[in-house]
Structure 1
Amino acid sequence: MAPKCSLSASRPASQPRFIQHKKEAFWFYRFLSIVYDHVINPGHWTEDMRDEALEPADLYDRNMKVVDVGGGTGFTTLGIIKHVDPKNVIILDQSPHQLAKARQKEALKECTIIEGDAEDLPFPTDYCDRYISAGR
């Protein structure tokens, strides 16, 4: 069973959020998810760029536990599973629309997919071997 994210309201009002406009982001990615893998990635985030960006993560063991924070459509996750067994990979994103695209990718079928907030991770400290975020 996948961990549940706590509600954003659990954060004290006095503690500022890095991303202030999550509702706007929800709608932005709702529409962007339609073309994300076919228009955005080919021009701005290629497979070679992704693979090079993942090198410092030192994904040396297929048994590592990895969370792709803000994993969206799973494009970066596809690079992660070249090195780590999909059953050991969690994709976390706030956009159900982006995650729907990730769920459609056969290579990601064994990954755990969680709708949640990158600023309120549903894991205890040091839960995984690597937390990866490839936001641009």
Structure 2
Amino acid sequence: MSSSFNVRSAAGYERLMGRWSRLLAEPFIRFAGLEDGERVIDVGCGTGSLTFALPQAAAIGEIAAIDFSPVFVEEAQQRNRDARVTIRQGDATAIPFEDGRFDRALSLLVLHFVPEADKAVAEMRRVVRSGGVVAAAVWDHFGGMSGMRMLWDTAAALDEEAQAPRSRYCFQPMTGPGEMRRSFVARGLRDVTESALTIRMDYENFADYWEPISAGEGPIGKYVAGLDETRRTTLNQAVRAAYEAGKPDGARSFAATAWACRGIAP
């Protein structure tokens, strides 16, 4: 498996997206459900946004967390203080556990970065017991991420070369309405439900918004890092104008919506 998410550092990821993942973890857990004593696998744990929220929501029996990125795995391992939690490198399309091992397989903001996303759903189903729960959430990149679309749309208006990566961002796997639900049903899960979860992305100022992107994190960061100095300066100025929207620089808040899907293993 490969991942389409560009990782440079755990700290950079935290500033770009990790802080928002932590905010989304709580409503996602409510949507997915959780019971005391359960064995749970977190597929694509990143730096641990969902992993470390799970023991706060219920008296979990066991949490196994995997991620494709060794950068994320190392960071999450260093943060772990719970003996019930184990974190290891692993592939979402070849989960390194036996059939039926877990009560729930959860994945927060991962499937849209997995090129073989359907295979990852099938693997999540495989490792839960009959009657167990498979649940996942992904950002609605096309219609639900106004803060990121502001940047991509500005870049595409200035630079024809940004149009292709913008399209890839907007139409990543599983991000369309009903797309995850169809995958869950096709993989044999039953009682499948899909919902939208919304949080707010709050920034202190433009620097808080721009700096992790200009450092090269994530898909947009990869594009920005590849620009020459002149084009990067032009983009910075245009995005700053969009961020400020005619008012002095300062705090701004953008809605961020994710699709969430839940199904039961037969």
1:45 match: secondary structure: helix
**TM-score, L = length of structure 1:** 0.68
Unaligned runs of 5+ in 2: 110-137, 139-266
2:88 match: secondary structure: strand
Q: Percent identity?
A: 25
Aligned equivalent of 1:36, options 13, 27, 35: 13
**Larger of the two Rg values belongs to structure:** 2
Unaligned runs of 5+ in 1: 1-18
Distance 1:23 1:38, change over 3 A: closer
Higher RCO (CA < 8 A, seq sep 6+): 1
Would you tell me which structure has more strand in proportion to its own residues?
A: 2
Provide the C-alpha distance between the structure 1 equivalents of 2:94 and 2:39, rounded to a whole number of angstroms. Answer: 19
Query: Which AA in structure 1 matches 2:101?
Result: Y
Aligned pair count? 110
Aligned equivalent of 1:55, options 24, 30, 34: 30
Provide the C-alpha distance between the structure 2 equivalents of 1:45 and 1:106, rounded to a whole number of angstroms. Answer: 17
2:66 match: secondary structure: strand
Tell me what 1:9 maps to. none
Could you tell me how far 1:114 is from its partner in structure 2? 1.5
Contact 1:87 1:111 in 2 (8 A): no
Q: Is it true that 1:71 corresponds to 2:48 in the alignment?
A: no
TM alignment of 1:1-136, pairs within 5 A: 22=2, 25=5, 28-29=6-7, 31-42=8-19, 44-47=20-23, 49-61=24-36, 63-85=37-59, 88-108=62-82, 110-135=84-109, 136=138
Could you tell me how far 1:60 is from its partner in structure 2? 1.7
User: Pairwise CA RMSD of aligned residues?
Assistant: 2.3
